[in-house]
Amino acid sequence: MITLRSPHEIDLMRRAGKITAAARALAGEMVRPGVTTHEIDSAVERFIRKQGAVPSFLHYQGYPASACISVNDEVIHGIPGKRVLKEGDIVSVDVGAYIGGFHGDCAATFPCGKISPEAQDLIDVTRQSFFEGIRWAKEGQRLQDISSAIQTYVESHGYSVVREYVGHGVGAKMHEPPEIPNFGRPGRGPRLLRGMTLAIEPMVNAGSAAIQQLSDGWTVKTLDGRWAAHYENTILITDGEPEILTAPAI
């Protein structure tokens, strides 16, 4: 069952979303050569707690940090630690914040210093694929209209979408129905209704779609070693344009 949020619940989701988006922005500003992924994670946790919220990811199914920080060929779920970022890296940061009974969830890939044009293109296409997808995030459309638009855009740029991990409903729990694949066929899947809150999150590989999970139990890397990018926002389905609940402040 896909939960529909009341106006009051939507207000609470807006508050969670704002904090989550600000935490992502803070992390993005910290991405530069010489910084460790642990330093970014600590700052994210401090910021979220200072807002009166709780990091959604910390201890989720045993996850040991507040942010997922995935570098270069790491797709998602990278565990922050001693790794020192270096010029040319691309750094995916995924954050969640829980306040007032609701979660926000968002992610983006940031350049570390000067990066290659190829890496920048991967970041740009991944971000744009989200916006191509949410053109279909309207009452009356079907879920896979979003999925299909993301897939078509990504593949038209020669990249591939990850299959094993998908977007999801988000609200009182971080992961709620429905699953939102980044591949699919127009006209399939549940019909979208106003009040649905969804995390749309294309995970895009420069090379093949195949991934591997590391022995740390979390980190997901590309199998071919080519780089990957991630972009995610929590959105609200309305009777008109979708509202991005984790929109950047500026």
- Contacts to ligand MF3 by CB under 6 A: 57, 60-61, 63, 68, 77, 94, 96, 105, 199, 201
**CB nearer ligand MF3, residue 115 or residue 221:** 221
Q: Which does 61 bind (CB under 5 to 8 A by kind): Co ion, ligand MF3, none?
A: ligand MF3
Residue with structure tokens 């069952």? 1
Report if residue 176 touches Co ion, rule: CB under 5 A.
no
- Please choose, out of 60-68, 73-81, 126-134, 193-201, the segment that lies near Co ion by the rule CB under 5 A: 193-201
Q: How far is the CB of 27 from ligand MF3 (least distance, A)?
A: 13
Residue with structure tokens 């330093």? 39
Q: List the structure tokens of 212.
A: 């591997």
Q: Which does 60 bind (CB under 5 to 8 A by kind): Co ion, ligand MF3, none?
A: ligand MF3
Q: Which does 149 bind (CB under 5 to 8 A by kind): Co ion, ligand MF3, none?
A: none
SS3 at position 200 = strand
Q: List the structure tokens of 228.
A: 């990957």
Those residues with Cβ within 8 angstroms of residue 96's Cβ, 6 or more apart along the chain or in another chain = 20, 55, 56, 57, 103, 104, 105, 106, 174
Q: Among 122, 143, 199, 244, which residue sits at the site for Co ion (rule: CB under 5 A)?
A: 199
Backbone angles phi, psi at 208, to 5 degrees: -75, 160
